[in-house]
Amino acid sequence: MSYRVTFVCTGNICRSPMAESVFRHHVDEEGLDVEVDSSGTGGWHVGDAADSRTVAALRRAGYRSAHIARQFEPEWAAHYDLIIALDEGHLAELRAMAPDGEAAAKIRLLREFDPSAGDDLDVPDPYYGGRADFDQVLEMVEAAMPGLLDEVRAALKER
């Protein structure tokens, strides 16, 4: 059975689809048995594609993106091995939705996996910004990937 990772932001059109695309790229490149997806805590954009600025930032960096937004449902917690929140607000919302302590323990912040992040573990929402904001988010996402991949590789070895 695949290891399952999901990324969660607010509307599932900027940060979480960006993290999903970058992580999927690395997982595919390494041939890891990992299922990757994303969703949002809110339903405003359900059915929409990723924000065009997200797609543009990903393409400039050499990543592919094919995405349709969806909203995270509390019962999904049992399906995932790791639920990655993009900021403290998402973390709190997801933990409040968790049906039990086991599910809550699966929920982590993306920047926890970046040793250079310091105390600021939020990935800022670029939605109201411009190209530089989306590029900054992509840099933060990429910086967390080595640590996240180490975590997932270790979990796969334990299976």
Catalytic positions, written as ranges? 9, 15, 125
Give, in degrees to the nearest 5, the angle at Cα 115 between 113 and 121: 65
> Given strand 82-85, what is the order of strands in its sheet?
34-40, 3-9, 82-85, 107-109
CA–CA gap between residue 96 and residue 29 (Å, rounded): 34
